[in-house]
Structure 1
Amino acid sequence: MPDRPATASLDNPRYYLQNFRSVLRWVAGHHADLLTPQEAVRLAQFEALPEGSQALLVRMVMRKGDQFRASKLSYTEIGPTTVALQPLVSQGWVDPQPTLSLAQLFALLTRAELVRSLQAPLAQAGLKRNATKQAMLQSLAEASPQPAPLAHWCPGIADTVVALRSGPLFQRLQLMFFGNLHQDWSEFVLAELGHQRYEKLSLLPQSRAFQHRSEVDSYLQMQACRDRLDAGEAPAAVWPDISRSQAPSPWLESRRARLLFSLGRMAERAGDSTLARQAYRLSTHREARLRRLRLEEQQGEAEQVFCLVSDALKAPANAAEQLGLVRIRQRLGRRLGKTLERLPRPAAIPEIELVLPRQDSVEMAVVAHLSRADAPVRYVENRLLNGLFALLCWPALYAPLPGAFFHPFHAAPADLDRDDFIARRQTLFDDCLATLGRDDYRECIYQRWEQKQGIACPFIHWPTLTRELLDLALGCIPAQDLQACFERLLADLRAHRSGLPDLIQFWPASSRYRLVEVKGPGDRLQDHQRRWLEFCLSRGIDVALCHVRWQASPTAECET
């Protein structure tokens, strides 16, 4: 097993190369069975390159795009670019004379260079010399010019362009190491600078992101489809390239589900409801069934859709879907003349009406109005209860289960958004929540707050979770309320992490508190916010909904 990847000191001018080598060693030792013999040979050839050539190649890999002007590849720690480039060219790592499309040419050259180099075609197109770069590109593109080397486009330019040939290999290595493509080599630098700290994790052999090469291929193919959609390609054009069968692993299937759901949303917005329904039907995304049934409601046969919705209500995926299904069923029932059971009236949420001087933040305006020396108010939104939950349940969140962590730069478990995240750790979460039944649960949370300070965690915003706020919260929120809220979080972690009330007011002298949701002019309560307020009321937690109107003039008096 290779050594644990470590960040290079930024005192080393070629720190990025050392970090890159660390990844290569890790992948070669940890994922050797996922590499083809040709890829393994290529990595060995990289190690045999002169160090300056290695450094230049890594600089190119870390930059955006695949084509680079040689004049822009000047690095003091590398030395002469031509010397470093020579082995890269001779061994096929870079193309010394790539063909460039018109769009690639415009991306590489400045406007002034383009005006000088393309005088004739620009004049033929009738463009003025002060035309924008985008206008020039659009005009010249109408002639559909063929890709050509830089020397053909710009015979007089004193520069060359080289293109990276090994981009797909290094993208594959990045993916195998990080398990995703949104993290990159900068993670090493951020960690070294101290801008980002990560939990020290146990990296087990069975915990790697991919177990089979086909899984890497599947991820890359889905990412290519995602990139095409993001680039504006029509959903119908991307649709044939998305697999109709489930992905080879649960977490890859969750990615496929999100891709199908995104394509369905784009198709729906484009007015292609048939494609949208097909995509939603194949997707296991938590919102896909509800969106498909809404489309069926709009275009399907009412009686048939009513039956489909009634069947779905027997096993709703979550509270949000259940509410949406109930609403569809009620609408269809009225249309079909059916007698349906009356929906229970929602609990009456206590309300506060305020007229306040206008401020940039309506929440902070309410904080200033409600705060008292003996009853401070803090703007916490989702950050307080989520933070307390993470501190109490840290051992469960960061348990080294297979497939959870596979490199040192995880802010969250890789399976956090999977449906089986809680089930895989149920016993661990039960043990953490059992701490609330002991007298020392506060000490446990305080100790973890000190030990984990600043470590990246998706549930904690450290600037908000100060010692002062922690003292107020643990002094005023009883253990049974924390347990009730944490159990609700665990019932649907993705959905219930948001929607918590904006403010919390403390009365330290009497060890009590109140949660306050704030709505400014024109704002209304969202479903997930209402569900949190109704849950709190059902558990005897003091909550209020605060409606704010702005004063018409500075002399208007506040109403409470």
Structure 2
Amino acid sequence: MTGDDKERRTADAKLGRDTIGTTPQSINFFADLEQAEAKAAAPKREPLFGQTVELHPWYMDLDRKSGHEKRASDAQKALSHRQDEARKQREDPLAQMPRTSRPTQPTSQAPASLSEERQLPRFFGGGLVQNAQHESAALPDAAPRRAFRGESMYVELLQDMICTVLAGESHLFTPREQACLSAIFTMPYDARYLFARLLQRKRDQWYRLDKLEYRNDVQDLAQAAHDLCTPFAAPITLSSSTEEAELYRFAMMDAEMDGGLRARLELLTVDELKSLARQLGRRVTHPTRAALLDTLLAKPTNATLCFRADQLGLQTQPTSERLERAMAALMQGGCLRLVPAATHLLDRVALVYYRGPPVLGSMLTSAILQRTRKCHFPSYTVQRTHDLFADRAQLISFERACAAAEQADEFVDAWRVNLDAARACAQLLLDCEAAWQDALRQMRATWPEGVPSAQYARMRFHAGWPLTRVLFKGCEALARLGQHEQEAAVLKQLLAQRYFWRGRRGAWYERLSVIAARHGRKDEALRRCLEALDDPDTPWAYLARLQRRVERLESQLKIPLPSRHFFERLRPPTQVSWVGVREEVRISPGPQTRTRWRSDNGSACSVEELCLERYAQQGFRGFHCEGDLVFFLYVLLMWDVLFAPVPGAFETPYQRAPLDVDTDVFSFARRPTMERQLTRIEQTGGLDIIQSVDARERPQQTYAQGCRWDMFSPDVVQEVALCLGGRALAALCRVMCEEGGGRPRGFPDLSLWRYSDRQVRFVEVKSPNDRLSESQKVWIDALLRAGIHVELAKVQDA
């Protein structure tokens, strides 16, 4: 045994490692035979990155997933580092070759001459991914760590997200992408921290290092930026994906900034631009940002007078060089920007992790709120569905479809003031129609008889789901542009399928009927309404308006009375009138005014607050909350239904509600559990459920959808529940479940109760000329059918 082997075995014994059979002199033939037989019996797995040996994936390591690093002493780290270097030299295949036949070692870390197949095994230490377990001890001495204070939550949460995704769905990412994600763990801690923080900020932005407030968490910000910009792999010169070819580093410095001097000047503040102008001798009459930029970039050269004793005279010096030096003095450390390909990859990881675009902003916001105890998310069983995306192609299609759906929503918000947004949305519809047809063909090939109810919830993660949203938002754009025939053609295509967005079929039927009636085809309009009434997927909220449309069309078509349809009318609310003094209050700034009313104490108030005062005189307590109180009651009563373990509903620990809330999937997936809970509420009144859930969740202010702990006290919630009774509560909960489990739309403005005689009233407040909307009429009818008193309060000026 050599001296090195003795030293290594002694060190292994100190660290508690098993040293049996670790040297060439220690051979156990029986152990080798048992290992060979076990290996032959084990199922074969495809090696990672084309290697001949695949060890336990690095992302399954609990230390790596949680972000914690081993707290080894300095001596142990140094010893472990020497052992790793010795092992790499022994296992280096180049060491076994004659010196004359060895390839020339390149000088750069990621040479372009190496192919990806050769560069990746080189980067991962000769093909053993586990050898680079990304421990702090494996980092080179040139990459210092800060004094250990525990990992930052930003680093820990980012690593946890990556490991969670790769542990079950690594097949969705290419070897190049997996290598990029693995390289995050090999970076020094400061670089990882800087990368995690910049991922939380705006995309495609340049950031000045001197303006980043991370110096308390990063020892050397300049070194961290340099590590981010250092290539971790060889650039791909020939690749089918331009974005994948850029996955060889995480960031770039301002030397690669497009736009020249102007782009760099735009990163300066106005005061800094003024300082530059003074240094260059430029005068600006109106020192706005635009004027300062134009002045600084006005001339290519300036003549400057030199006053040095040995060189008195006039010299010409390029303004750009002087400007560069002055800017370098101001922008200490330069600028940094994350590579778009890297941020796009992390966004894709977040899409897989959250099962959609993050709802609270950036990719780590929800996790950070939970970690900092600013939000306590509900407790539920997280069930990661690892086969949600069949392959990478399906994920890419879903990603693109989600981006198109977000763009369509932005157009809808914009076309209220700009008609060009409606045109852009209509064009987006045309661009996505072919992809939507492809999605339908896939579904018809998979489910020719229709999607079973048990599988319908998974349709939300198919590209056809967000593409269907693009199509019906595009129909709204076509209606805005007056292109009704094109709109009708798209609506017919939407109604011809039942794979995506069944809950929207009522709206599609109604709109198709309106278009036909406006173009003189009233018989077709009537037929569409009758089809909608016979369709089991038509939501209840559309039934009343479709029934009234049928009666109106039959009257216009002069259909004989015996052949007409007669439906039950919606129940009207009780109408009351109040008188108040109206005041016009000017909205500053601008000439607009808004209507305010004089309260009993002489101050200005809203019309809803005036009505609350009038009802308070009758002994009622209440809120202007537009259904928030009832929705809070619903969440407390149906807590076990909302957070029941449904496949695909809870994929991450950071959810306020199930992923399928506000969709028609919600009631389909929970029908048995929902019916049992509704029966219990009707029979018992539900007060015990409310008290139990409220006592458990209120102390920690659980961040669940609809929970207004700050607005409604336990006494208020229990009093309203007692006044409503079990039958009314069960009826309200059923309606909200059928509507997708989300917040009610069209609920009356005021929620009032009088505990002395157990009375509850819901009041819709209108001015004398206002009329009820269709959704308000439906909700009023539902409340009246549940036995709840509803009033329509009209306020008139005195």
Same fold (TM over 0.5): yes
Does residue 318 of structure 1 match 2:527? no
Confirm whether residue 176 of structure 1 aligns to residue 176 of structure 2.
Answer: no
**Equivalent in the alignment of 1:371:** 616
Contact 2:663–2:740, Cα closer than 8 Å, also in 1: no
Post-superposition Cα deviations, 1:305-350, rounded to whole Å, max 9, x if no partner, equal 4433433333271234334444555565566555555665543421
- The reply to whether residue 533 of structure 1 matches residue 757 of structure 2 is no
1:22-69 superposed Cα distances (whole Å, 9 cap, x missing partner):
212212213223222222221111111111111122222221022313
Q: Note if contact 1:203-1:407 (Cα within 8 Å) is conserved in structure 2.
A: yes
Instruction: Tell whether 2:243 aligns with 1:95.
Output: no
**CA–CA distance in 2 between the matches of 1:364 and 1:238?**
44
Residues 15-94 of structure 1 mapped to structure 2, 5 A cutoff:
15-71=153-209, 72-73=211-212, 75-76=214-215, 77-91=217-231, 92-94=249-251
Contact 1:519 1:545 in 2 (8 A): yes
Pair 110,298 (structure 1): closer, same or farther in 2 beyond 3 Å? farther
Q: 2 CA distance for matches of 1:445 and 1:62? A: 38
* Number of residue pairs the alignment of both structures matches: 531
1:379/1:2 CA distance change after superposition, 3 Å: farther
> 2:793 aligns to what SS in structure 1?
strand
Bigger mean CA deviation after superposition, 287-296 or 378-387: 287-296
User: Structure 1 residues 161 and 240 mapped into 2: Cα distance closer, same or farther (>3 Å)?
Assistant: farther
**Cα distance, 1:370 vs structure 2:** 1.2
2:393 match? 214
User: Is 2:368 the partner of 1:189?
Assistant: yes
Return the offset for 1:135.
Answer: 13
Name the SS of the counterpart of 2:224 in structure 1: helix
Answer whether contact 1:98 1:161 (CA < 8 A) is retained: no
In the superposition, relative to structure 1, how do residues 132 and 342 fare at CA in structure 2: closer, same or farther (>3 Å)? Answer: farther
Alignment of 1:244-393 (within 5 A): 244-245=436-437, 246=439, 249-252=458-461, 253-283=464-494, 285=501, 286=504, 287-299=507-519, 301-315=521-535, 317-326=538-547, 328-329=549-550, 332-333=553-554, 336-338=557-559, 341=565, 345-357=569-581, 358=597, 359-372=604-617, 374-393=619-638
Q: CA RMSD in A?
A: 3.8
Alpha-carbon distance in 2 for matches of 1:279, 1:7: 50
Indicate the larger mover: 527-536 or 445-454.
527-536
Deviation at 1:495, TM superposition (A): 8.0
1:395 aligned onto 2:574? no
Measure the CA separation in 1 of the matches of 2:287 and 2:769: 46
Alignment match, 2:382:
203
Question: How many angstroms apart in 2 are the aligned matches of 1:250 and 1:194?
Answer: 34
1:239 aligns with 2:429: yes
Compared CA separation, residues 517 and 272, structure 1 to 2 (3 A): same
Change (3 A) 1:267 1:114: farther
- Aligned counterpart, 1:442: 687
Structure 1: 5+ residue stretches without partners: 141-150, 552-560
Q: Which amino acid aligns with 1:356?
A: G
Cα deviation, 1:273-328, whole Å, max 9, x if unaligned, reads 45544444444551344334433443474444443343333327123433444455
**Distance in 2 of aligned mates of 1:406 and 1:2:** 21
Question: Which range is displaced more, 326-335 or 128-137?
Answer: 128-137
Conserved? CA contact 1:74–1:80, under 8 Å: no
Is contact 2:384–2:648 with CA below 8 Å preserved after alignment?
no
**Counterpart in the other structure of 1:167:** 343
Larger RCO of the pair (alpha carbons < 8 Å, separation 6+): 1
Q: Secondary structure at the match of 1:16?
A: helix
AA at the equivalent of 2:338: L
Amino acid at match of 2:473: S
The 1:164/1:375 distance shift into structure 2, 3 A limit, reads closer
Letter of the structure 2 residue corresponding to residue 392 of structure 1: L
Cα distance in 2 for residues equivalent to 1:338 and 1:259 = 38
Query: 1:469: Cα distance to partner?
Result: 0.9
Q: What amino acid is the match of 1:191?
A: Q
AA matched with 2:639: W
| Code of the aligned partner of 2:252 | D
Secondary structure of 1:390's counterpart equals: helix
**What pairs up with 1:394-413 in 2 under 5 angstroms?**
394-413=639-658
Contact 2:766 2:795 in 1 (8 A): yes
Give the direction of change, closer, same or farther, for the CA distance of 1:236–1:130 in structure 2 (3 Å limit): farther
Deviation of 1:430 after TM superposition, in Å, equals 1.6
Percent of matched pairs sharing the same residue: 20
Alignment partner, residue 463 of structure 1: 710
Distance (whole Å) between structure 2 residues aligned to residue 181 and residue 364 of structure 1? 39
CA contact (8 A) 1:267 1:276 kept: yes
* Separation in 1, partners of 2:207, 2:734: 57
Cα distance, 1:306–1:133 mapped onto 2, change above 3 Å: farther
Pairwise CA distance, 1:487? 2.3
Structure 2 residues not aligned, in runs of 5+: 1-59, 69-148, 232-248, 298-319, 412-420, 444-457, 495-499, 582-596, 598-603
Q: Distance between the aligned counterparts of 1:35 and 1:187, measured in 2?
A: 24
Question: In 2, distance between residues paired with 1:208 and 1:107?
Answer: 46
Quick one: distance in 1 between partners of 2:273 and 2:293?
9
Query: More displaced, 322-331 or 88-97?
Result: 322-331
TM-score, normalised to structure 1, is 0.82
Q: Determine the C-alpha separation between the residues in 1 that align with 2:674 and 2:566.
A: 38
After the TM superposition, which residues 102-141 of structure 1 pair with which residues of structure 2 at under 5 Å, given as runs? Answer: 108-110=267-269, 133=290
Structure of larger gyration radius: 2
Where 1:313 maps in the other structure, the secondary structure is helix
Looking at structure 2, the residues matched to 269 and 370 of structure 1 have their Cα atoms a distance apart, in angstroms, of: 42
Q: How does 1:470-509 map to 2 (within 5 A)?
A: 470-493=717-740, 497-509=744-756
2:454 matched to which residue of 1?
none
Q: Which moved more, 1:364-373 or 1:194-203?
A: 364-373
Report the Cα distance in structure 1 between the residues aligned to 2:674 and 2:61, rounded to whole angstroms. Answer: 32
Q: Give the structure-2-normalised TM-score.
A: 0.59
Secondary structure in 2 matching 1:402: coil
Shift of 1:235: 2.6
Cα offset for 1:12?
5.6
Counterpart of 2:539, as a letter, is N
In 2, the alpha carbon distance for the partners of 1:261 and 1:63 equals: 32
* CA gap 1:128/1:296 in 2 versus in 1, 3 angstroms: farther
The C-alpha deviation readout for 1:391-415, integer Å capped at 9, x for no partner, is 1211111011110011110101011
Residue 527 of structure 1, CA deviation: 1.6
Give the partner amino acid of 1:15: M
State the secondary structure of the residue aligned to 1:549: strand
Contact 2:608 2:765 in 1 (8 A): yes
